[in-house]
Amino acid sequence: MKGRIHSIESFSKVDGPGIRYVVFMQGCHLRCRFCHNPDTWNTSIGNEIEADDLVQKIISAKPYFDFSKGGVTFSGGEPLLQAKFLLEVCKKLKENDIHVAIDTAGNFDTNDPILKELFHYVDLFLFDIKHIDSDEHEALVGVRNERILEMAKYIANVLKTPMWIRVVYLPGITDKNNALLRLRDFIATLKSVEKIEVLPYHEMGVYKWKDLGIPYTLKDQRVPTIKEAKEVEDYLNEGRNI
Ligand code: SF4
């Protein structure tokens, strides 16, 4: 079976534990206004690769994984759009004892049979929550968040698979109307959360929107400092200890 990938980063230290081999899958069905990878959206472009070829590439990095307690991370785009392909790949990776992480925005049905099977082979989810308020989520991402929050609960409380929550901090948007308090309370209900990472909004991907001819609608958005994002991260983490 073939999948479509956007690119590969063979040595990352920020997409899960240890040294990570990161496969950026092509295709995304969300339209986050702050997205820094709009070039991953189109599902019909990218590089086609056979599942077995991708498995072999990942296995070749296994000495680094073993040494650093690392593994592979599937990111994107939205990797779960290619769940069938990932199922074939991940089955083989687990036969080779490779740690598998999936970075997802989680906008899927928890009853999807392929996803259910795939999740059996996933050791860690990097789970993005874009906004806790559904109206604000729709304004920021293009869809409401109910399905996403259900998926977070399913992974964390039913499957109990380890989860790292990822949040992009956009001052004036993701902290509007008590949103951080509500987000903190929601995350506190998720039983398998090991870590919360808050990433400051940045403008490094804006040039890609220009290149693709897509209007960028966050032109006046303030870029927070790393310190501000860290304060939000500390605040959200406090909720896990209450
Ligand atoms: S989910 Fe990720 S790749 Fe998709 S639009 Fe949002 S930020 Fe971009």
The predicted-structure confidence for 97-111, as pLDDT tens digits, reads as follows 999 999 999 999 999
| Residue 239 pLDDT level (bands cut at 50, 70, 90) | confident
Q: Residue 145: CB partners within 8 Å, gap ≥ 6?
A: 129, 130, 131, 132, 133, 134, 137, 138
188-206 pLDDT tens trace: 999 999 999 999 999 999 9
Residue having the nearest C-alpha atom to atom 8 of ligand 1: 35
Q: Is the peptide bond before 172 cis (omega within 30 degrees of 0)?
A: no
Query: Is 70 exceeded by the pLDDT of residue 242?
Result: no
| pLDDT > 90? residue 240 | no
Checking if the pLDDT of 241 tops 90, the result is no
Residues 219, 204: Cα–Cα separation, whole Å: 12
Residue nearest to atom 7 of ligand 1 (CA): 35
CA atoms of 149 and 19, how far apart (whole Å): 29
Instruction: Tell me if residue 1 falls in helix, strand or coil.
Output: coil
Helix, strand, or coil (residue 162) = coil
Check if the beta carbon of residue 58 is closer than 8 Å to that of residue 10: no
Q: What is the pLDDT of residue 164?
A: 98
CA of 192 to the centre of ligand 1 (A): 23
Evaluate: CB of 106 within 6 angstroms of ligand 1: no
| Dihedrals phi, psi of 138, to nearest 5 degrees | -65, -40
- Indicate whether residue 28 lines ligand 1 (CB < 6 A): yes
How many separate domains does the chain show? 1
- Per-residue model confidence (pLDDT) at position 180: 97
Q: Please name the residue whose Cα sits nearest to atom 2 of ligand 1.
A: 77
Return d(Cα 83, Cα 102) in angstroms, integer. Answer: 11
Domain ranges, residue 99:
2-241
Q: Using the mean position of ligand 1's atoms as its centre, give its distance from the Cα of residue 71 in Å.
A: 22
Confidence of residue 177 (pLDDT cuts 50, 70, 90): confident
The CATH number for 194's domain is 3.20.20.70
Lowest-pLDDT range of 85-89, 143-147, 168-172, 217-221 = 217-221
43-60 average pLDDT score: 97
Residue 22 has pLDDT above 80, yes or no: yes
> How far is 35 from 207, CA to CA, in rounded Å?
11
The pLDDT tens digits for 63-86 are 999 999 999 999 999 999 999 999
Nearest protein Cα to ligand 1, atom 6: 32
| Residue 92 pLDDT class (50, 70, 90 cuts) | very high
Cα 78 to ligand 1 centre (Å):
7
